[in-house]
């Protein structure tokens, strides 16, 4: 999967990072590890059709003693696509968390997820609570709950998925439709219902498009078209409530004020979390579904205290250099005072 290399879309950051690849049977999971590499990081997972660039503006505001490992889900960003004939599924995506943990030999994981990434974190925490020490969900709580309207809306996905497979086969002979950068920004804004404004679109585009070989000034979307029609079977309300009861770990939800994704369908689960999880917090910030990207400073006001409380700096990182220096100065001063006192007594005896 290609990435942009033009100066006007390269993301400048003062943070150090390392691009990583995590092995998978079908290829690799692409990631970017920001900051500290000596401590277990926060694992950050993006939303549907996005990529790890969604966290570009938020990461610089997080505590610097912890690293953040952002990944592209399979079929997104720079990660490998699933083989032909396979489909993408929300339930299968949950296993990506376990795969990353296994690759780095983590016994515990700290999760930060937006939208689909938040749902994956919620499901993983409910299923394997002993492996999670902290979970943060950005503008999401539950997976979608079942309803006749939702089911009828997903029925066409079956055929559209097959159409995308045919397009993928043809792409080896015919390049996908290409666009100029201004057109790409407009498409990104329109596709997100203006949740990602044009001025923020480059944060997602630089890992989602490749340069056209036919038109030098144009680019095409390089993500797997099948991810648009990934399989998601909705939960019923009793399942959603039971999942919420199983989440006892520190859990923070940040809701965007102009977003419908933390809906009344989540009220029962949130009520359970408030009642049964003493470490549950929920806050609201101004903005749309991508508020963590467009209003990162406000989101960080809640994230930073939560992270510092539940994943404080390790004791080994606390510096006593200043105290040791003060102690040394005091001891030196006392030694000097003892010497002067002894010297005065000695002189008086002469």
* Backbone Cα Rg of the chain: 26
pLDDT at residue 99 is higher than 90: yes
Average confidence score pLDDT of the chain: 87
Res 200: pLDDT? 96
Per-residue DSSP letters for 138-183? ES--SPPBP-HHHHHHHTTHHHHHHHHHHHHHHTTTSPPP-B-HHH
Q: What's the mean pLDDT in 23-42?
A: 97
Q: What's the mean pLDDT in 3-28?
A: 72
Residue 267 DSSP code: H
* Cα 256 to Cα 333: distance, rounded to the nearest angstrom: 58
Asked if 92 and 85 touch (Cβ cutoff 8 Å), the reply is no
Res 230: pLDDT? 83
What percentage of the chain carries pLDDT values higher than 90? Answer: 68
Q: How far is CA 166 from CA 45, 160, 170, 175, in A?
A: 29, 10, 6, 13
| Structure tokens belonging to residue 215 | 């038109």
| 115 annotated active-site | yes
Res 13: pLDDT? 52
Exactly one of 30, 79, 110, 115 is catalytic; which is it? 115
pTM, two decimal places: 0.86
Q: What is the pLDDT of residues 47-92, one digit of tens each?
A: 999 999 999 999 999 999 999 999 999 999 999 999 988 989 998 9
* Cα 70 to Cα 53: distance, rounded to the nearest angstrom: 8
């Amino acid at each position: 999967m290609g990435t942009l290399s033009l100066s006007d879309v390269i993301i400048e950051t003062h943070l150090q990072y390392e691009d990583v690849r995590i092995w998978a049977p079908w290829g690799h999971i692409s990631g970017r590890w920001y900051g500290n590499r000596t401590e277990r990081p926060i694992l950050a997972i993006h939303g549907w059709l996005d990529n790890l660039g969604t966290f570009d503006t938020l990461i610089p505001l997080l505590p610097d003693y912890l690293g953040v490992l952002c990944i592209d889900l399979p079929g997104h960003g720079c990660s490998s696509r699933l083989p032909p004939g396979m489909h993408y599924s929300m339930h299968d995506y949950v296993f990506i968390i376990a795969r990353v943990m296994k690759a780095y030999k983590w016994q515990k994981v700290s999760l930060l997820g937006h939208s689909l990434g938040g749902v994956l974190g919620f499901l993983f925490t409910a299923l394997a609570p002993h492996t999670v020490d902290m979970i943060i969900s950005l503008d999401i709580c539950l997976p979608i709950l079942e309803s006749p309207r939702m089911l009828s809306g997903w029925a066409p996905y079956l055929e559209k998925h097959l159409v995308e497979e045919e397009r993928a086969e043809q792409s080896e002979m015919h390049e996908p439709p290409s666009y100029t950068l201004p057109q790409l920004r407009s498409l990104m804004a329109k596709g997100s219902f203006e949740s990602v404004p044009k001025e923020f679109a480059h944060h997602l585009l630089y890992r989602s498009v490749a340069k056209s070989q036919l038109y030098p000034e144009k680019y095409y979307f390089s993500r797997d078209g099948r991810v648009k029609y990934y399989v998601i079977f909705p939960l019923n309300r009793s399942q959603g409530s039971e999942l919420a009861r199983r989440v006892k770990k520190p859990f923070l939800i940040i809701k965007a004020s102009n977003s419908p994704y933390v809906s009344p369908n989540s009220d029962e689960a949130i009520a359970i979390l408030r009642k049964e999880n003493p470490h549950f917090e929920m806050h609201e910030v101004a903005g749309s579904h991508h508020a963590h990207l467009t209003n990162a400073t406000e989101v960080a006001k809640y994230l930073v205290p939560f992270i510092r409380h539940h994943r404080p700096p390790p004791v080994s990182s606390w510096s006593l250099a200043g105290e040791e220096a003060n102690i040394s100065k005091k001891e030196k001063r006392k030694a000097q005072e003892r010497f002067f006192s002894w010297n005065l007594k000695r002189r008086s005896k002469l």
